[in-house]
Structure 1
Amino acid sequence: MCDQEVMKRFIQEASRMEKEIEELCRASCNLPQPVTVLDTRVNFPEWRSMDRSRQASEVWRGQSLLSAAVSQVRSQRPAVEPFLGLLQIIESSLRSIRDILRGHRAQAAPQTLSSGGTLNVETVKKLFSVYTNFLRGKVDLYISGSCQGNRR
């Protein structure tokens, strides 16, 4: 659960998909309906001052919102047909993230504890960008913090 290579692979795959989306979006990648996701910006001093359960709540909330958003986007056919394969990869990765969180005994806390705001995403390109930033930010910070705590 603490193998940094696992997170690196998720992040590399997300970056690769982001580039692929740019190619696919040359025509248009607007969504017929916007979707809501977690704002992935990280206030590092605030993050470091949060207890682990609150950090876990942030990651769970992000994972939950992204999963719901991807599912909603997948249902917006035929507009998103070119992106379906990549959206399936995100869904699979988000399930793996959920399993990793459970492996770190991260509890899904009530949503009211989460301080992060949300964004309305109107393009497939922005959805993939949010996904990549979520992995690079809150997920990686939480998992690496858990792994450091396990070494103490």
Structure 2
Amino acid sequence: MGRSGLILLLLTLGILHPASLVPLQPMCDQSVMDKYIQDASTIESEIEQLCRTSCRFPEPVTVLDTRVNFPAWKAMDRSRQASEVWRGQALLSAAVLQVKRQQPAAFLHHLEAIESHLRSIREILRGHHAQAAAQDEPSSPTLSVRTVKKLVNVYSSFLRGKVNLFVSGACRGDGR
């Protein structure tokens, strides 16, 4: 049981009160992001083995287009970058939840790991005081994904790209 599991258990038992929890601190240890990225690559490899055929979904799921235009990304202010990452995290979380209902148990472990990592990304964003997207901001492009392989590929690309760029930029103080 990890630290977060222990805290959840203690909260549930009433031993630890939420007021006694320390406020979130920005996560600037690159090894943490590297671990998430490595785990995503491992999941990607395992799904590749499980899905030698297509592993298609009965209906497509919508995810954020993870391609990054680096000059445009660098020109964005930190709040817009945060909006991109929040939106990507939200779309991926919703897609994973939808897929969990559609796919056989063979993928459940992988999908639950992705779900857990996406919750951690949400906490990392909160630690950096990143705010969720405002409704009037222009939306980033999305993709319709029809296979487990593509969903995991998008998740892995999201971590390596926009999430890693946002966190490393926030840690360097690149926010505008």
| Equivalent residues in 2 for 1:131-146, closer than 5 Å | 131-146=155-170
Conserved? CA contact 1:57–1:114, under 8 Å: no
| Equivalent residues in 2 for 1:1-152, closer than 5 Å | 1-76=27-102, 79-149=103-173
Say how many residue pairs are matched. Answer: 148
Structure with larger Rg: 2
Find the residue that maps to 2:173 and give its secondary structure: helix
Separation of aligned partners in 2, 1:59 and 1:137: 10
Displacement, 1:111? 4.4
Which shows bigger deviation, 101-110 or 138-147? 101-110
1:47-88, CA deviations, whole angstroms, 9 ceiling, x for partnerless residues? 000000000000000000000000000011xx4321111000
Which shows bigger deviation, 12-21 or 107-116? 107-116
Which letter does structure 1 place at the counterpart of 2:37?
I
Which letter does structure 2 place at the counterpart of 1:63?
Q
Find the residue that maps to 1:2 and give its secondary structure: coil
Name the structure, 1 or 2, with higher relative contact order (CA <8 Å, separation 6+): 1
RMSD between aligned residues: 1.2
Identity among equivalent pairs (%): 67
Separation of aligned partners in 2, 1:41 and 1:73: 22
Separation of aligned partners in 2, 1:60 and 1:69: 14
Q: Report the CA distance shift for 1:46/1:115 in structure 2 as closer, same or farther (over 3 A).
A: farther
Which letter does structure 2 place at the counterpart of 1:125?
K
Moved over 6 A (4+): none
Gaps of 5+ in 1: none
Find the residue that maps to 2:59 and give its secondary structure: strand
Separation of aligned partners in 1, 2:53 and 2:141: 30
Displacement, 1:28? 3.7
Separation of aligned partners in 1, 2:146 and 2:130: 31
Displacement, 1:114? 4.3
